[in-house]
Amino acid sequence: METFEFTEHSHRRFNPLNGEWVLVSPHRTKRPWQGKVENPAVAERPQYDPGCYLCPGNQRAGSDTNPDYKDVFAFQNDFSALVPDIPEGAFVKGDLFRAESERGFCKVICFSPRHDLTIPEMEVSAIRKVVDLWCEEYRKLGAIDYVNHVQIFENKGDIMGCSNPHPHGQIWAQNAVPAEPAKESVRQKAYYEQHGRTLLEDYVQEELALKDRILFENSRFVALVPFWATWPFEAMIVSKNAVSNIAELDEAGREAFADAYRRLTIMYDNLFETSFPYSAGIHQAPTDGAAYPEWHLHMHFYPPLLRSATIKKFMVGYEMLANPQRDITPEQAAERLRALPELHYKMR
């Protein structure tokens, strides 16, 4: 009987962060593609766009006008999904109908005044200012009495639903801990109570010893393709030490985070020599004032491109109704990313 090899045969992998499984089907990489093909053509953008509602000095989608900002800039989203002035209340009818009010804040973070840049094209010193602003906003929003969770994230590329190409991200702060971090919170707490160490602290050490899925490391962070990755070139940036939130990073930690953010996104752009789309977000401890020694700072990257700049991975059918599935293995993805030059393709 043939010996099972997880690099060749279909199998399931367990995600210890959320307690869920992903189906891996390496043999499906051989199938021909006759599905949707994206148009990767991206027009060169000017440094300043008078029609962009995020550029300095321009009027936004609402009635406000942006200041002539010179580096990073944060403002309350003009069309926030969460607003602070919602009255407390609930609707309950038996065991099957339940709703409750949810208030909070949605902020936009402009990474740069330049319309033509993205994170991989920015200098580490400029990205460091983004990290500093994240820390400031995490502290400030988290200090509001009813805010128990702060979600920092970036959507890059129109196929990820990004409505404006100007380099920017968002921060949503709210009363409830959302579903994905809530799952991770339960799993990390159970692991910490059993082992006395954080789940990701042990995981990073194991990955560093194996090296199969490591992309790179610097003084404070490791970038890797998780063993349980779902998206084709999914990756994580994980703190080497057990830091529970971004505000706990010292000066060297913030610099290292900025460096890792830039290096990983350069890998992405270089993979298909295009402005690589993704959704990325930081998972960290809640902000309800309690201690969370089990929480370990990390940033997820979920990119949809599969075989080229024109072919995208869709989460449909089985993925939506059963559980996530991927064709290229995490080890293959890591090998391809590691082999790329560190210099951005536009600079070569």
- State residue 34's pLDDT score: 45
Catalytic residue among 168, 283, 298, 300: 168
The answer to the question of residue 281 being in a domain is yes
Residue type present at position 136: E
Q: What is the CATH number of the domain that holds 175?
A: 3.30.428.10
**What pLDDT sits at residue 165?**
92
* Residue 33 resides in a domain: no
Q: Is residue 10 a part of any domain in this protein?
A: no
Q: What is the pLDDT of residues 4-35, one digit of tens each?
A: 777 777 889 999 999 999 988 886 655 544 44
* pLDDT surpasses 90 at 186: yes
pLDDT above 70 covers a percentage of the chain that reads 92
> Can you give the pLDDT at residue 33?
43
pLDDT of residue 183: 97
Domain assignment present for residue 40? The answer is: no
Query: What pLDDT, on a 0 to 100 scale, did the predictor assign at position 319?
Result: 77
Assigned domain for 233 exists: yes
**38 domain-assigned:** no
C-alpha span between 148 and 189 (Å, rounded): 17
Tell me how far apart the alpha carbons of residues 325 and 312 are, in angstroms, rounded to a whole number.
14
The pTM for the full model equals 0.93
347 — phi, psi (to 5°)? Answer: -95, -5
Identity (one letter) of the amino acid at 275?
Answer: S
What is the mean predicted confidence (pLDDT) over 305-312? 70
**Beta carbons within 8 Å of 56's beta carbon, 6+ residues apart:** 48, 66, 67, 68, 69, 70, 73, 113
Q: Tens digits of per-residue pLDDT, 139-179?
A: 999 999 999 999 999 999 887 778 799 999 999 999 999 99
Instruction: Tell me the average pLDDT across 224-246.
Output: 96
Altogether, the residues listed in the chain come to a count of 348
Considering the domain boundaries, does residue 219 fall inside one? yes
Nearest to 151 by CA among 138, 161, 164: 138
Does residue 203 register a pLDDT over 70?
A: yes
Active site annotation includes 168: yes
Q: Is residue 18 part of a domain?
A: no
Nearest-angstrom CA–CA distance, 27 and 29: 5
For 334, residues 6+ apart whose C-beta sits below 8 A from its C-beta are: 212, 213, 214, 215, 224, 225
Strand pairing of 20-24 and 325-326?
Answer: parallel
* Rounded Cα distance, 275 and 277, in Å: 6
Q: Which of 124-133, 136-145, 310-319 comes out lowest in average pLDDT?
A: 310-319
- Total number of domains in the chain: 1
Query: Residue 237 is part of which domain span?
Result: 48-347
Nearest of 152, 150, 204 to residue 16 by alpha carbon: 204
- Residue 230 corresponds to which tokens in the numbers above? 């779902």
Residue range 96-118: average pLDDT? 95
